A and B are shown apart, each in its own frame.
Chain A
Amino acid sequence: MDGLLFWHRLQFGFTATFHYLFPQLTMGLALVIVLLKGLALWKQEPRFHTAARFWIRIFGLTFAVGVVTGIPLEFQFGTNWARFSRDAGGVVGQTLAMEGMFAFFLESTFLGLLVFGERKLGERMHALAAVALFLGSWLSGYFIVATNAFMQHPVGYQAVGGALQLSSFAAFVFNPWALVQYAHTMTGAVVTGAFVVAAVGAFWTLQGLHPGQARLNLRLGVALGLVASLAAAFPTGDQQGKLVARHQPVALAAMEGRWHSGPYAEVNLIGQPDVRNQRLENPVPLPGILSFIAYGSFSSDVRGLDAFPPDQWPTNIELLYYGFHIMVGLGTLFIALMGLSALLLWRGILDHARPVLWCLMLAFPFPFIANSAGWMVAELGRQPWLVFGLLRTADGTSHLVHPGQTIFTALGFAGLYLVLGLLYLFLVSREVAHGPKE
């Protein structure tokens, strides 16, 4: 990889990964807030309003960081991926423009009303503002996933003189890949939101603070967390895996570190891919599972990398392999932890099961890791293509921008985001320490 391509990719990858730490939480919390506002209207109990108010404060802070770290991504399509924008803008420009017009205006209008307008608006209108924000943030997610889906599995286009042009708006916007990827991405976001809510509930329970709010958050977090963790694996993760197997078989082979084709393909619990010698070190295999996941039968033939020319192999097989295994491994642990917590909750003893509460409290960073790893699988699996099968990543860069410029801006982002991340953590921990205002 030449220097310029490396820096363009590093900068976009870094800024996108950092950015997505925030929207996954706001999209998850938006659902939590809507649920709490709905419960408050239904049950007419002030404790739901109190909880909603606490999460709205966290939401506002997280949303702000999500907005300011999202703007660079919109710009970088043009600044760093100019030839991609020129060649694919006639298609993906639609969804990116739709995101601004349909989602951002909705979000920016109702955010202020949600955060500061509770007294001004009254109970019902305030709940409606929460719904508007939920719609806005989830719509935004759809347009981004639809844009990404075109890069993963291009549909609804025609090639005219090197550039891609839109040929069917409906086919492009309702790309089957987008629908599945959206379902999987959103369940991932709800997992993050639920784990954060459960962690705060567990933290207050362990401290013996705000008992009513602690119980409420613990229950809501665990219930939502169990449903979302299960849905992230099945059906959404399963469907996503089958799509990759069908349309990006070379990515599937790399995700599993599978060099050789054959039936009864195994999933490896652990093991280190040795790309130079084309093998997996220290594998702990579960035979037939990959065949089953990909094609629904243990004996199905799963192609390895040897079935594809090396110039179509993903460019970073190691990271892709680890991204996939981290995502799946953590996802399995999420189901186990939330399943156990739900069982204890049902038996009525979760509030006193201190070891489990400790686990819930300390588990909140892991959904962030799993979601980031999941996006890495999607984006590294797409390599060496920017638009799968149509436009190579190396042909999509801003070729006249020189490495001196990209290194300058990449370093700028590294510094800014370090400060931003520290400030965000500082302010959120203050909010959690202050607790809800009852």
Chain B
Amino acid sequence: MEMFWFWSVAVVMALYAILDGFDFGAGILHLFVARTDAERRQVLAAIGPWWDGNEVWLLAGGGVLFLAFPKVLAASFSGFYLAMFLVIWCLLLRGISIEFRSHLGDGLWRAFWDGVFALASAFMPVLLGAALGNVVRGVPLDGSGFFNIPLFTHWDVQNPVGILDWYTVLMGLFVLAALACHGALYLAWKTDGPVRHRSRTAALRLWTAVVGLALAATIATARVNPDLYARLPHAPLAWVGLALYVGGLGVALAGLRLERDLLAFAGSSAFILGILVATAACVWPVMLRSTLDPRFSLDALNASAGPYALRAGMRWWIVAFVLALGYFAFLGRVHRGKVQAGDYGHE
């Protein structure tokens, strides 16, 4: 039962990264790949019907954590207090910039919200990567089940740690590049004309950066949390994750070269899924690693809600999950094919 919920968290977060990831990427890049107002609206039309639903996966992930692992939610949300509010403010600014932009035709008004949208979109992946970095590195959980760390201390991975250090920032940059590339591939698939052309060029350049940063992150992780790789031989799912990770990167490049845009985007999605599956398989059952003493770590077994709640939740959760996938399939059908610039926006 705990394993079901542990993997639910992992799968929902992977879906979140893949789905909201492409609109973060599109948000980061739209200042560069779309230059006129018509081109900007083309980008917005490509992500407009999706971004709100994509973001719901983050709330769904939080909901699953709350339902199944309340102690993990309580410890991590209060422990990363300031970073959590940076996430909240980014999501807030992104949401209003995409909505408010289209209400006025004025050039300055639109340029302002385009800038807000790009900055908030760029900041989110850095925070998500740093979050992943913190999970891998661990936090100073003591026996109380709580901790609280500042945004940064001495930028090193030794205690007293901060949310940001060289490792978590590296992870942040890695995720930033990965999601920017992911968004570029999405735009290449969903748009045409100059926007598609520029998105493809951007994706090619970003792909190189992603591979470089992926290598750096892999090596750094071995130094920060050696236990993680030690678990590899015992975690068959981690090998599946690694295969998706490496294979996805390859497929993304092949798709780009062959001008098969959907294939390239699928490769990038598999790559993101692979990172999270491999990480989850290696850390199981630990959800929040303690840097003080492994006994203080919060894991899927010692931090879960009561058995009745887990069973009751599973019944409705499976139904809701299938329903949610159904909505996304429906949206995909309605918005299939390349976007037309007039599809989104008021004017």
Instruction: Check B62 against A74 for contact (C-beta < 8 Å).
Output: yes
If A93-B309, A100-B60, A399-B146 touch, whether A109 touches B330 (CB-CB below 8 Å) is yes
B56 CB contacts on chain A under 8 angstroms: 100, 104-105, 108
Instruction: Check B63 against A96 for contact (C-beta < 8 Å).
Output: yes
Instruction: Check A101 against B309 for contact (C-beta < 8 Å).
Output: no
Give the interface size bracket for A toward B.
35 or more
Instruction: Check B74 against A86 for contact (C-beta < 8 Å).
Output: yes
A105 CB contacts on chain B under 8 angstroms: 53, 56, 60, 320, 323-324, 327
Within the complex, the shortest CB–CB distance from A387 to chain B, in Å, comes to: 13
Cβ of B210 under 8 Å from chain A: no
Cβ contact of B49, chosen from A112, A121, A401, cutoff 8 A: A112
Cβ of A282 under 8 Å from chain B: no
Cβ contact of B305, chosen from A57, A79, A93, A402, cutoff 8 A: A93
Q: Closest residue to B84 on the A side, CB-wise?
A: A79
Cβ of B103 under 8 Å from chain A: yes
Tell me which residues from 153 to 204 in chain B have a Cβ below 8 Å from any Cβ of chain A.
none
Cβ of A356 under 8 Å from chain B: no
Stretch from A165-173, A197-205, A295-303, A310-318 that touches the partner: A165-173
Cβ of B110 under 8 Å from chain A: no
**A71, A72, A90, A113: most-surrounded residue (chain B CB, <10 A):** A90
Instruction: Check A79 against B62 for contact (C-beta < 8 Å).
Output: no
Instruction: Check B309 against A82 for contact (C-beta < 8 Å).
Output: no
Tell me which residues from 366 to 416 in chain A have a Cβ below 8 Å from any Cβ of chain B.
398-402, 405, 408-409, 412, 416
Complex interface bits, A63-96 against B, C-beta within 8 A gives 1, otherwise 0? 0110111011011011110110111111111101
If A74-B59, A108-B56, A412-B89 touch, whether A93 touches B70 (CB-CB below 8 Å) is yes
Tell me which residues from 92 to 129 in chain A have a Cβ below 8 Å from any Cβ of chain B.
92-94, 96-102, 104-106, 108-109, 111-113, 116-117, 120-121
Instruction: Check B64 against A405 for contact (C-beta < 8 Å).
Output: no
Cβ of A60 under 8 Å from chain B: yes
Instruction: Check B343 against A116 for contact (C-beta < 8 Å).
Output: yes
Cβ of B264 under 8 Å from chain A: no
Cβ of B96 under 8 Å from chain A: yes
| Measured CA separation A91–B84 after assembly (Å) | 23
**B95, B145, B147, B306: most-surrounded residue (chain A CB, <10 A):** B306
Cβ of B344 under 8 Å from chain A: yes
Cβ of B214 under 8 Å from chain A: no
Cβ of A423 under 8 Å from chain B: yes
Instruction: Check A97 against B67 for contact (C-beta < 8 Å).
Output: yes
Tell me which residues from 59 to 81 in chain B have a Cβ below 8 Å from any Cβ of chain A.
59-60, 62-64, 66-68, 70-71, 73-79, 81
Complex interface bits, B29-53 against A, C-beta within 8 A gives 1, otherwise 0? 0000000000000000000110011
Instruction: Check B91 against A398 for contact (C-beta < 8 Å).
Output: no
Cβ of B328 under 8 Å from chain A: yes
B306 CB contacts on chain A under 8 angstroms: 90, 160, 165-166
Instruction: Check A166 against B62 for contact (C-beta < 8 Å).
Output: no
Cβ of A135 under 8 Å from chain B: no
Cβ contact of B82, chosen from A74, A405, A423, cutoff 8 A: A405
Cβ of A343 under 8 Å from chain B: no
A86 CB contacts on chain B under 8 angstroms: 70-71, 74-75, 145
Cβ of A430 under 8 Å from chain B: yes
B77 CB contacts on chain A under 8 angstroms: 75, 77-79, 82, 85, 398
| Measured CA separation A253–B285 after assembly (Å) | 50
**A60, A67, A423: most-surrounded residue (chain B CB, <10 A):** A67
Stretch from B127-135, B227-235, B252-260, B311-319 that touches the partner: B311-319
Instruction: Check A97 against B89 for contact (C-beta < 8 Å).
Output: no
Cβ of A286 under 8 Å from chain B: no
Tell me which residues from 276 to 314 in chain A have a Cβ below 8 Å from any Cβ of chain B.
none
Instruction: Check B53 against A108 for contact (C-beta < 8 Å).
Output: yes
A83 CB contacts on chain B under 8 angstroms: 74
| Measured CA separation A424–B104 after assembly (Å) | 13
B320 CB contacts on chain A under 8 angstroms: 98, 101-102, 105
Within the complex, the shortest CB–CB distance from B144 to chain A, in Å, comes to: 8
Query: Number of residues in B with C-beta < 8 Å to the partner?
Result: 63
Instruction: Check B312 against A94 for contact (C-beta < 8 Å).
Output: yes
A111 CB contacts on chain B under 8 angstroms: 52
| Measured CA separation A421–B252 after assembly (Å) | 43
Instruction: Check B313 against A75 for contact (C-beta < 8 Å).
Output: no
Within the complex, the shortest CB–CB distance from A6 to chain B, in Å, comes to: 17
Cβ of A349 under 8 Å from chain B: no
Instruction: Check A165 against B95 for contact (C-beta < 8 Å).
Output: no
Cβ of A61 under 8 Å from chain B: yes
Cβ of A420 under 8 Å from chain B: yes
B309 CB contacts on chain A under 8 angstroms: 90-91, 93-94, 165-166
A108 CB contacts on chain B under 8 angstroms: 52-53, 55-56
| Measured CA separation A69–B92 after assembly (Å) | 7
Tell me which residues from 41 to 59 in chain A have a Cβ below 8 Å from any Cβ of chain B.
57
B75 CB contacts on chain A under 8 angstroms: 82, 86
Cβ of A427 under 8 Å from chain B: yes
| Measured CA separation A92–B73 after assembly (Å) | 13
A400 CB contacts on chain B under 8 angstroms: 78-79, 146-148
B293 CB contacts on chain A under 8 angstroms: none
| Measured CA separation A60–B101 after assembly (Å) | 13
If A85-B66, A86-B145, A165-B305 touch, whether A68 touches B91 (CB-CB below 8 Å) is yes
Q: Closest residue to B98 on the A side, CB-wise?
A: A64
Cβ contact of A90, chosen from B48, B70, B145, cutoff 8 A: B70
Within the complex, the shortest CB–CB distance from A8 to chain B, in Å, comes to: 10
Within the complex, the shortest CB–CB distance from B15 to chain A, in Å, comes to: 12
| Measured CA separation A98–B91 after assembly (Å) | 21
List 9 extra interface pairs beyond A93-B73, A400-B79, CB under 8 A.
Answer: A75-B77, A78-B62, A86-B74, A89-B70, A92-B66, A105-B327, A160-B306, A398-B81, A427-B104
Q: List 11 A-B contacts (CB under 8 A).
A: A68-B92, A69-B92, A75-B85, A77-B77, A78-B62, A79-B85, A89-B74, A93-B67, A97-B64, A100-B63, A405-B82
